[in-house]
Structure 1
Amino acid sequence: MKIAVSIGDVNGIGLECFAKALSKLSNDRNEISFILFGPYRLIIDYLDGLDINFEEIENGIKLTGYNVEILNKGIDASIEFGQITAEAGKIAADSIADAVEYIKAGNADILLTLPINKKAISLSGFKFPGHTEMLGESFGADPLMILFSGSVRVALTTVHVPIKAIQKLLRPRLIESKYAALERSLRLDFGITKPRIAILGLNPHAGEQGNIGTEEISYINDTIDKLNIRIDTATAEGPFPADGF
């Protein structure tokens, strides 16, 4: 398995988290290889400052037993930990773009994105509010952000929008689209047969039957009923209070 890795913000902890995470993996070192996109010398300088053993090898490094190929791309810059700079944002943006093209060309199986700084990357001219929207446009798909840990999986209906805009965006069509994408992912990516999906409300206490907002009784309840009729490979339940779920 080949994993393409975008470098994230080089003034932050992304590369450190990546290096330390590799030491926690239990996979056979021969089963997985990594391709890291970014300026070679900057990556070496960063790792030199960590209490982590690595060695330089041809075209990359060996890090905690894993081969990490470095595709030497991006502008030269110095590391300024904790600082927000356009240079760091440019490196992050270029790395994401290069990793995406590498994936689209069929050269890797998975994309791993190290954390960016939204302000820094915007200073570089990056036109998207985050990875999610950029990946959606790059692959011609409606993106769905899923956060998961253990048996908990949470999908977001709206992403990177101001609170005041959510009420207008949260319409039945959007709920249906995100639900269908989540249902498909739970079955195909997570291997869950007939998943049960809890849909959370917009208002505190899911509106308390209209006492604290009417969106739930106006259209979210009906949308859930329609989803259960239209998609029989999952069960939709709710709306549940987001503030107490």
Structure 2
Amino acid sequence: MHKFFVFWLATLTLMTSLGLGCVMADEQPSQEEQNNNGGFMELSSTLAAFQSRFVDAPQHIGALLNLRLNYQWNGFFIEDKGLQGLGLPGLGYNFYHDQTWSFDVYFNEIYAEMASDDAYSLGNEQDGLKGINPRRADHRVGLRSTYYFDDTSVLRMLIAPLSARRGQGMHLAAWYGKTWQRQNINFHTIFSAQYDGSKTLDYYYGVDDSEVSDKFTAYHAGSGITLSAELGLTYALTKDWVLESSVKLIRLPNSIYHSPLIDPRVEAIAQISLVYVLF
């Protein structure tokens, strides 16, 4: 089943990328759009209830403080839109956009470090991985395309074959987001699918012979698809203060279900944040 989905996702991404030539032939961005520079910075204070994917991770509540910067200058940009973002934070160059399409060269971190002193984690969620060799982060460069159905619905696709870690294979991802408003509350939903090859998933969730112990048996992970769904809301308290909240479920790939590094098959996080807009 997932092979058919990967073929569909790759075909859809390729078609939208090839469609760039037709779009550019019909319409070029205006000078005003090309000079649309600027951005904003936010400070987010978050309280989150988290059920981690990792073995022996406690279900707990943790606090996070996050600085989010979004800025664009002559096509170059830094992007971290928090709850409203489709995909992970990153940076890149937007080489074409109009009212319907946007195309970027995008650089971001697909997988964070695992089982290392520098690994970012909520509380002690990775304490159960002691005895496993550290996994380095996976930074990738790819082509990102965005299609705007209207002012409230958007489809975004990413094809990222180039990794800082050699021989990791293809990464494909797609997000669909929709927003709507009820009185003064803005709601959003985001659905996503992410495909990774066997080399990537086996690196992060497999167990090789050097790591085998009474707790961790040898394991090889194949390719697979990660699915997620999110429901959230934002409410402007004042001009500079915003309240955000969301619930997100992440269904892990079938190929890592029996990895000794993984316990639940569905990762869940619920959070509420108080955001201050710095500029």
* TM-score bin (small chain): under 0.3
Greater Rg over alpha carbons, structure:
1
TM-score (norm: length of structure 2): 0.23
TM-score (norm: length of structure 1): 0.25
Q: Which has the higher helix share?
A: 1
